[in-house]
A and B are shown apart, each in its own frame.
Chain A
């Protein structure tokens, strides 16, 4: 220990040496610096930036409308609105101030469109969707979900939904009137086939016809039983139409909806729910989509039926379909284009469904 005592004296002797003081404080500075760092410096982590795709994996896209070969509108869950100006290659998100599920969209032209959704929300746009404005529509006290909307010339549009709701506008969606008394039945689709005739379909196989532009409605009596709901209806002209529904239900009419026939004579039927149907003039066929990636094709004679699934590995459900340039855009649990020519389904966004 004598050794150390000696050193003490030494350091005292030199205690006025500035440079020595500086040097001997350096280790303390380092240590206190480290201590300070240990206590106060919280390491920051560089986070990988995660880009969100326009169509996110969990989006359910319920409605689609093809304005022309370039312009497509999609609406879906949690207030999602998407617009493409390049046939679906890229999408841009449009916003409203609500997060209701939107069920359907329909456009009068490239600028003017209307969308409907849960709780009876209706939004219109006049500027290609840059701004969407909510309009108040007549509601009931029970259930107000609006399921489909279709636009017609001169600013007319029809929408249907829960509790037997049928709504009509004639001023591009600015004002809506209730076209029918409330009833505890869900109406799933509606179509106007000429100046005065409107047909709606819904739960329990209900078919409602109005021959006076909605002033009064008649329930069509069918000469067969239907347990399943009708989900969609389409006409290729004033007389020939097809309605599809749950459990692969397909019914046809050749007289403008007055009488209906069940079943197609030949072809492999599907038991999947069918959710939408369109008439494809260019291929002269009816085309329908539904659950588990199923599609059904019926020829114009309404006699031959073909069915299949878009992609064996992708069993996503679809609620609507529309044509664009000889292909079909199907929306639902995913969004994709089906090419009937190549029998190939291409998703419009990488998407994982489960």
Chain B
């Protein structure tokens, strides 16, 4: 270590030149990184639900559906004004990029049809395509026709006749969320007036909103940065103490983003909080370096060169610095075992980013410091050290010296148990209805609530029935099973309704029987059901049945409409599906395959997160212990450093559970980073205690020095970072605000445990890996 430190400082020009060279090289790709969200990245590709989803999404319904709801403000939708607007929006859809024009469902579209008996069997015609009804009489006929059709009255026209839906699917690979978002809202605004209200929801809209807030997000990043710089300047009172951490953060950001762009990884605006978090690591390491450097140069006196101070700093802090970084990287890397591409990409980004901190903070900061002269004066007169920082640090020392140390341990143990209990209530998946990414009162969530109030539910899941033989879904037993399945599922209150071919055939059958409702039933045998399907399709257009059955009649879909996306709702639904499969041995003939559509994908993601959560925590702790053992050659060290990590995680989980923040795809990476995050501060403190004790100081002296030096760095970074994380509370994205809050809590708990708990534990238990007698004796 000493050699490496010496080499770095002696060849400081080369080191600096190399860093500058790579920074310049990587800044071009870094500034050109793609900032976007791709919903498909969420899909855990190996999960069986996703396989079903991918196979059938183009016909049975994908994840990128936009739903427009047109609500008549007075009376019902059956007047020319409202119907014209429905037609206008439907026609306007064709101008939106990447839409799948064969998947437009609207009263004014071609796909929703009236089915009628005629002398030649049955015929079908679109309700108001290509022309709107002209007279009062025609409008009334339209109304009657809709009321008669349960596939339209309910799913596409609300029960109170005041609202109608227009849904459109997209070609996933061509879809650009921003464009779709702008175009959809433009279309909605164009037709909204005193007589109608238009609501718009769907994944492209949701992610469009995230991108919509991108400028705001950038502003918040800048604001956080300014707060951070100002605070650092006020506390450190030197330009170097302000600028060097900034340089560290900037260099690692450029390297990480540049490398990501070169690897073809895009930057998801939702993970900007994570970027902040990693930058925080860089800053934290840098501040430790600077604090230590000040101390060394004070000891050495004015005459000596800064180079020596820089070398000593690097030598002493290299171990805790690298250990902290390696632990961070290791703990984050564990998340990569998740089969979700978004997380895997994020892991690459995060690991690269964290690793660059080794260069940008641990090496670059002392190298730059080696050129810095001892300051003669401070940049301003406000000395927070005297009025804030030192008193706090003194308190820390006091706590260790007195019996209060037992109180600290007692508080920690209590907190551990209480939070441990509460964190059991942590929910997987979204904890509230509406999207957790946005605030409940956001336009999107309000629109979503309105639609779910009028209709069976805007979010869909499909399951696929069949798959064994051709024509299997014409069999009575299979169709009956589908209907029983639908009945079973609809008993769940959050499932507003279900739809399948088994709902259509009774309608066709009834129509063929003069509308006699006693024949509102499936055909008696495979042949009759085949005929009914043929009749329906013959009367309609080819492809009209595609969303219900495939062309070989091998697979059929059952679409379930959900009124919310809550983790509990989805888990209950999945469990009920499995229960049905277990209870119905007949289903074996026609298997039920889970699950596609937005809800199917979320279900898969939640299952992956749920089963991966314990694994990733266990693995992250495992890595932590291995690192500590490798460095300190003591398994006790592993256990010792587990304390702050587990504590900060439990507190955060308990907070999430208390605040109703679910463990979902967006929160998992933050949680994983948190594990590595908790340990950094403790490493610096304990390492300093160790090296002081080895120099021959007493227990209390060593602890006191460590707290006043390393502890100062901890306190300063924690204060500065917590303050700058607070700006996220003002984000229009609820997700960012919540993550900001969580990171704030994480930082606070780990800083507090590093300052109070770790010294207390060290003093009470006096572990050999810190207080090494032999080393001390040899030093003396």
For residue B551, CB closer than 8 A to chain A, the reply is no
Chain B neighbourhood of A169, CB < 8 A: none
**A47 adjacent to B576 (CB under 8 Å):** yes
Per-residue contact bits, chain B 148-162, to A (CB 8 Å; 1 contact, 0 not): 101101110001100
In the complex the two chains form, what is the Cα distance from A37 to B619 in whole Å? 11
Q: Within 8 Å of chain B (Cβ to Cβ): is A16?
A: no
**For the complex, is B484 an interface residue (Cβ under 8 Å from A)?**
yes
Residue of B nearest to A49 (CB): B572
Question: B772 within 8 Å of A by Cβ?
Answer: yes
Q: Which residues of A contact B159 (CB under 8 A)?
A: 313, 354
A155 to chain B, nearest CB (A): 26
A7-B769, A34-B622, A50-B576 in contact; A332/B517 too (CB < 8 A)? yes
Residues of chain B contacted by A47 (CB below 8 angstroms): 571-572, 575-576
- A27 pairs with B148, CB closer than 8 A: no
Question: Interface on B for A, CB 8 Å cutoff?
Answer: 1, 147-148, 150-151, 153-155, 159-160, 428, 456, 480, 483-484, 486-487, 490-493, 496-497, 514-518, 520-521, 524, 568, 571-572, 575-576, 610-611, 613-619, 621-622, 625, 631-636, 638-639, 642, 768-769, 772, 774-775, 778
B621-A34 in contact (CB<8A)? yes
Are B497 and A352 neighbours in the complex by a CB distance under 8 Å? Answer: yes
Give the segment of A38-46, A120-128, A131-139, A255-263 that binds chain B: A38-46
Q: When A7-B632, A7-B772, A43-B610 are in contact, do A291 and B517 touch as well, CB less than 8 Å? A: yes
Asked whether A58 lies within 8 Å of B621 as measured between CB atoms, the reply is no
- Provide 26 A-B residue pairs closer than 8 Å at the C-beta atoms, listed in order of the A residue: A4-B631, A7-B769, A10-B772, A11-B634, A23-B636, A27-B625, A31-B638, A34-B614, A34-B621, A34-B622, A35-B618, A48-B568, A52-B491, A56-B487, A60-B520, A78-B480, A118-B521, A118-B524, A273-B516, A273-B517, A275-B518, A317-B517, A317-B520, A319-B518, A353-B154, A354-B155
The complex places the Cα of A164 from the Cα of B768 at a distance, in Å, of 99
Whether the Cβ atoms of B517 and A354 lie closer than 8 Å is no
Most buried by A among B155, B521, B621: B521
Residues of B within 8 A of A229 (CB): 514, 516
**Top 7 A-B residue pairs of the complex, sorted by shortest distance between their CB atoms:** A354-B154, A34-B618, A38-B615, A27-B639, A38-B618, A27-B638, A24-B635
User: Does residue A174 face the partner (Cβ distance < 8 Å to B)?
Assistant: no
Q: Which residue of A lies closest to B641 (CB)?
A: A27
CB distance from B69 to the nearest CB of A (A): 17
A21-34 vs B, Cβ < 8 Å mask (1 yes, 0 no): 00111111011001
Q: Distance (Å) between the CB of A37 and the closest chain B CB?
A: 5
Asked if A228 is at the interface of the complex by the 8 Å CB criterion, the answer is yes
Report A-chain residues with C-beta under 8 Å of the C-beta of B484: 78
A contacts with B, residue count (CB < 8 A): 62
Taking CB atoms, residues of chain A closer than 8 Å to B524 are: 118-119
| Chain B interface, >50% SS class | helix
Q: Is the CB–CB distance between B490 and A228 below 8 Å?
A: no
- The answer to whether B621 touches A24, judged by C-beta atoms less than 8 angstroms apart, is no
- CB contacts (< 8 Å) of B493 on chain A: these are 50
What A residues does B778 contact at CB under 8 A? 6
A83 within 8 A of B: no
A330, chain B: closest CB distance, angstroms: 12
Verify B516–A50 contact, CB threshold 8 A: no
Complex contacts, A34 vs chain B, CB 8 Å: 614, 617-618, 621-622
Q: Does A66 contact B (CB under 8 A)?
A: no
Q: How far is the CB of B694 from chain A (nearest CB, A)?
A: 8
A244 at the interface (CB under 8 A from B): no
Instruction: Tally inter-chain residue pairs, CB-CB below 8 A.
Output: 154
Given contacts A27-B642, A28-B635, A58-B486, contact A354 B497 (CB under 8 A): yes
List residues of chain A with CB within 8 A of the CB of B515: 246, 273, 291
Closest to B520 in A: A60
Q: Nearest chain A CB to B580's CB is how many angstroms away? A: 12
The interface of chain A, by Cβ under 8 A from chain B, is 1, 3-4, 6-11, 23-28, 30-31, 34-35, 37-39, 41-43, 45, 47-48, 50-53, 56-58, 60, 62, 77-78, 99, 101, 103, 118-119, 147, 228-229, 231, 246, 273, 275, 291-292, 313, 315, 317, 319, 332-333, 352-354
> Chain A nearest CB: distance from B33 CB in Å?
34
B636 CB contact (under 8 Å) in A27, A246, A333: A27
Contacts A34-B617, A34-B621 supplied; 19 other A-B pairs, CB < 8 Å: A3-B775, A8-B633, A9-B774, A23-B636, A26-B639, A27-B625, A27-B635, A30-B639, A38-B615, A39-B615, A43-B614, A57-B490, A58-B483, A78-B480, A147-B518, A292-B148, A313-B160, A319-B517, A353-B150
Contacts of B514 in A (CB 8 A): 228-229, 246, 273
Contact across chains for A45 and B575 when beta carbons are under 8 A apart: yes
**A147 and B497 alpha carbons, distance in the complex (Å):** 29
Which residues on B sit within 8 Å (CB–CB) of A77? 521
Whole-angstrom distance between the alpha carbons of A47 and B352 in the complex? Answer: 41
Residues of B within 8 A of A273 (CB): 514-517
Query: Distance (Å) between the CB of A112 and the closest chain B CB?
Result: 25
- Knowing A31-B622, A38-B619, A319-B518, the reply to whether A99 touches B480 (Cβ < 8 A) is yes
Residues of A contacting B636 in the complex (Cβ-Cβ under 8 angstroms): 23-24, 27
**B634 / chain A contacts, CB cutoff of 8 Å:** 7, 11, 24
- Pick from A23, A42, A291, A333: contact of B611, CB under 8 Å: A42
Q: Which residues of B contact A35 (CB under 8 A)?
A: 615, 618-619, 622
Shortest Cβ distance from A275 into B: residue: B517
Q: Are B571 and A45 in contact (CB under 8 A)?
A: yes
CB distance from B500 to the nearest CB of A (A): 12
CB distance from B512 to the nearest CB of A (A): 13
Q: In whole Å, how far is B583's beta carbon from the nearest beta carbon of chain A?
A: 13
User: B399 to chain A: closest CB distance in Å?
Assistant: 24
